[in-house]
Structure 1
Amino acid sequence: MFKFFHGNTIKDVKTRLLFIFSSIALTSTFLAFFPFSLYLVINEDNQVAQHLASFEQIATEHYALIQNDFAQLSPHVNAYYNEAALPDRIKQLMPFTENVITRHRPYDEDGFIIFHTSFIDLQGKKTPLYLTIDALAIEFGDDGWYVLMLISFALMIFLITFLRFSLQRMFDGLMSPVMELSHQLQHNHNDEFSVSERSIDELQTLTKHLNEYKQMKERLARQELMFAKYASHELKTPIAIVLGAANLQGMKDDPVFQAKQRERILVAATNMHATVEVLLNIVKQENASEAGTMRVVSENEIPLDKFRAKLKDGVKLNFAIDPETQLNLPEPVLAMLLKNLVNNAIRFTRQGHITIHIDNHTISVTDTGCGLTGSTETEHGLGLLIVKRLCQSYGWGFELKSNPKQGCTATLRLLINPS
């Protein structure tokens, strides 16, 4: 019962709103009608009293003609010239103040109004005069009241209906875009959200942001997929090396051969451990407390020999680091960043040079390759994704742009102020 009072759907809210405003309209109409009706009743009673008092001169002249204690001056007005002639119901209320209108139960059927005064008759004698009239003798009339009530009731129904219709039209105009958006959210998973151009500005802004969030969600989903592929690739390679070296160890008993395979296993395991640590830092954001910790970086921790081993013929690797350089990047993270940036530079550089420069606020890798020709995410693959994620975790900004002449430069800039 009264389920719509508790529902939260647009239909329930509309029903509840229409009910509330209908109640307000009904109450407002009653509050307007009640004082108006009360005013009519009070004004009518005053008119009856004034009508009764107007018979004073007539009653005086009439007494001179009939010389009687009672006279009916009109179908509703009676005149009494002696207290003894008054009806018992009036005698019970005596005495009456002279020249004052007295009302007795003026709104009941047995109520009456009395006007007491006096005059000097033809013999010079002071004669009392009591004019009486029934309280409801000349009321507005039942027919008149019925017409008034019907008109008022019809006006009330019209106002409520008009208000309800107007409110419903206004509510539908406001809520139809919301219902449309709700329907699109439930069913149109691949399409962009849209509302009518006549919708209010806030709804159009909301629709715009929903589309932006949808695009961002799709972009993040693609990045997460690329991140998973990158993690899989980075872990599969050392695992394959470890398995291969372990299998080869069982083929020969040569100590030199065995030592070589163990070395391969240790290097691959070390690289895999570093990769896992970096990936865990990104996923779990365990590096939050380390982002402000500075450490001195030396040239010895940069694997320059590994980078040079991958260079194509005709390509030279240059490296420069400012003295006493301090960074907030742990060694595995710095190694992962340089590995991805240098590998991308090697991939697109067939001749010329690749330059690595590191100082307290900047890490840059510049090459003389083919530069950027399209989307950096598709050109440079998964490596840039891991670089972006690491930069976000440690408070660095990342930028990749083409050089004026040839090649491109990948630049990492420190955005925070480590303590």
Structure 2
Amino acid sequence: MFKSFHGNTIKHVKARLLLIFSIIALVSSFLVFFPFSMYLVINEDNQIGKHLASFEHIATEHYTLIQDDFAQLSPHVSAYYSETALPERVKALMPFKENGITRHRSYFADGFVVFHSTFTDIQGNETPLYLTIDARAIEFGDDGWHVLMLISFALIVFLITFLRYSLQRMFDGLMSPVTELSHQLQHNHNDEFSVSERSIDELQTLTKHLNEYKQMKERLARQELMFAKYASHELKTPIAIVLGAANLQGMKDDPVFQAKQRDRILVAATNMHATVEVLLSIVKQENASEAGTMRVVTENEIPLDKFRTKLKDGVELNLALEPKTQLNLPEPVLAMILKNLINNAIRFTRQGQITIHIDSHTISVTDTGCGLTGSTETEHGLGLLIVKRLCQSYGWDFELKSNPERGCTAQLCLHPTSKHCATHIGL
């Protein structure tokens, strides 16, 4: 019976809310109905007492006429003119306060009310007077008082039921968008979340953020897939070189040939080591503690001769490194960024020049190639994806844009609000 009240679903919460509301409504109704009923009963009892006292003059006049110890003044009012004439149930309550009203079980059917006084008869004697009436003998006002009370109680029950139904409808209307949103979270994996325009602003804001988080999740999933594909390609190349050179070493005993294969293995292993370091730095976010450390950059870190061997005829490679340049990029990270940007520029530049500019605030690679063709997917190896991820990790902004005349520029700018550069630019 009470299982529906346990749990935290909307159905269970609504059941508990309606139960609590019903209890509060019943208690509140009782606190109003009971005092009101008691007021009516007490007021009626006081009116009976006043009605009984109003017969004092009639009882005195009646005694002058009949000179008897008992008189029935009305269908409900009796007069006694001596203690011996009183009924036993009245005698049991003696003595009575003179000129006062005494009530005995006045709220019950067998109760009665007594009014006691004295008067002087025509012979000059002090005569006691006792007026009695049954407590429930007469009702003042509407003869159907009990029916009126039942109608009032029925009206209260109706109001409670109506308000409970209204509360249920209001709760259902309020929780309907939440239920709908919960259903969409469980079943609609591909569609966007939506709620009614009449929903409260907070639910609409929540829905908007859920859609944004969903889009971000999907975008990150695609990026991770692309990242894994590019990382696989970048690592497979040096591994293939190492395996090939190792196999070739066993074919000849020529020292020169052996040395050449060892050099190929060392270069491929070194490149692979640098790539793995950068990948681990991104995936594990181990660079978080190093992101704020500034270091001086030297030209020895940039192997221009290695890049010049890849240039096409008629293309020059120049480096402009500002003196005392300090960056928060570790050497393997800077090498990976420059490698991808420079290789990307070499790939699309057939004549002219490629210029590398580095200072404490910016890193740029400008070429005179074919420029952007409407898509920025011009990566080489890990390419621009790796560059973007590294920029995010170390607080840099990345932008790839076309030059006014020809070619394009890949530019990294240290974010002015980033905590990583606070020690350098005095923020």
Question: TM above 0.5, one fold?
Answer: yes
Aligned to 2:36: 36
Q: Secondary structure at 1:101's aligned position in 2?
A: strand
Unaligned runs of 5+ in 1: none
What letter is aligned with 1:222? R
Does the CA-based 8 Å contact 2:340-2:379 persist in structure 1?
no
1:76 Cα deviation from its structure 2 partner: 1.0
Could you list the per-position Cα deviations for residues 232-276 of structure 1 after superposition, in whole angstroms to 9, with x for gaps in the alignment? 011001001111111111222211111111100000001001111
C-alpha distance in 2, partners of 1:372/1:147?
A: 92
Q: Secondary structure at 1:349's aligned position in 2?
A: coil
Aligned to 1:256: 256
Aligned to 1:210: 210
What letter is aligned with 2:47? Q
Could you list the per-position Cα deviations for residues 315-360 of structure 1 after superposition, in whole angstroms to 9, with x for gaps in the alignment? 2212110112222222111110001111222223233221111112
Aligned to 1:104: 104
Q: Secondary structure at 1:417's aligned position in 2?
A: helix
TM-score, reference length from structure 2: 0.93
Aligned to 1:323: 323
1:145 Cα deviation from its structure 2 partner: 4.9
Does the CA-based 8 Å contact 2:344-2:378 persist in structure 1?
no
Instruction: Map residues 65-84 of structure 1 onto 2, 5 A cutoff.
Output: 65-84=65-84
C-alpha distance in 1, partners of 2:79/2:371?
A: 121
Q: 1:29 to 1:272 in 2, by over 3 A?
A: same
Q: Secondary structure at 2:144's aligned position in 1?
A: helix
1:90 equivalenced with 2:90 (yes/no): yes
Could you list the per-position Cα deviations for residues 179-236 of structure 1 after superposition, in whole angstroms to 9, with x for gaps in the alignment? 1111111111111111111111111111111111110000000111111112101100
Could you list the per-position Cα deviations for residues 291-316 of structure 1 after superposition, in whole angstroms to 9, with x for gaps in the alignment? 22222211112011122222233322
1:417 equivalenced with 2:427 (yes/no): no
Does the CA-based 8 Å contact 2:328-2:421 persist in structure 1?
no
Q: Percent identity?
A: 84
Q: Secondary structure at 1:310's aligned position in 2?
A: coil
Aligned to 2:297: 297
Instruction: Map residues 276-295 of structure 1 onto 2, 5 A cutoff.
Output: 276-295=276-295
TM-score, reference length from structure 1: 0.94
C-alpha distance in 1, partners of 2:310/2:150?
A: 99
Does the CA-based 8 Å contact 1:4-1:13 persist in structure 2?
no
Q: How many residues align?
A: 418
Instruction: Map residues 13-32 of structure 1 onto 2, 5 A cutoff.
Output: 13-32=13-32
C-alpha distance in 2, partners of 1:198/1:294?
A: 53
Q: Secondary structure at 1:79's aligned position in 2?
A: strand
C-alpha distance in 2, partners of 1:392/1:354?
A: 25
Q: Which range moves more in the overlay, 298-307 or 333-342?
A: 298-307
Q: Which range moves more in the overlay, 154-163 or 65-74?
A: 154-163
Instruction: Map residues 307-318 of structure 1 onto 2, 5 A cutoff.
Output: 307-318=307-318
Unaligned runs of 5+ in 2: none
Q: 1:302 to 1:418 in 2, by over 3 A?
A: farther
What letter is aligned with 2:208? K
What letter is aligned with 1:365? V
Could you list the per-position Cα deviations for residues 13-66 of structure 1 after superposition, in whole angstroms to 9, with x for gaps in the alignment? 111111111222222222211111111111111111111011112111211211
C-alpha distance in 2, partners of 1:67/1:116?
A: 18
Q: Secondary structure at 1:124's aligned position in 2?
A: coil
Instruction: Map residues 182-201 of structure 1 onto 2, 5 A cutoff.
Output: 182-201=182-201
Q: Secondary structure at 2:421's aligned position in 1?
A: coil
What letter is aligned with 2:421? N
CA-based RMSD of the aligned residues comes to 2.0
Does the CA-based 8 Å contact 1:242-1:265 persist in structure 2?
yes
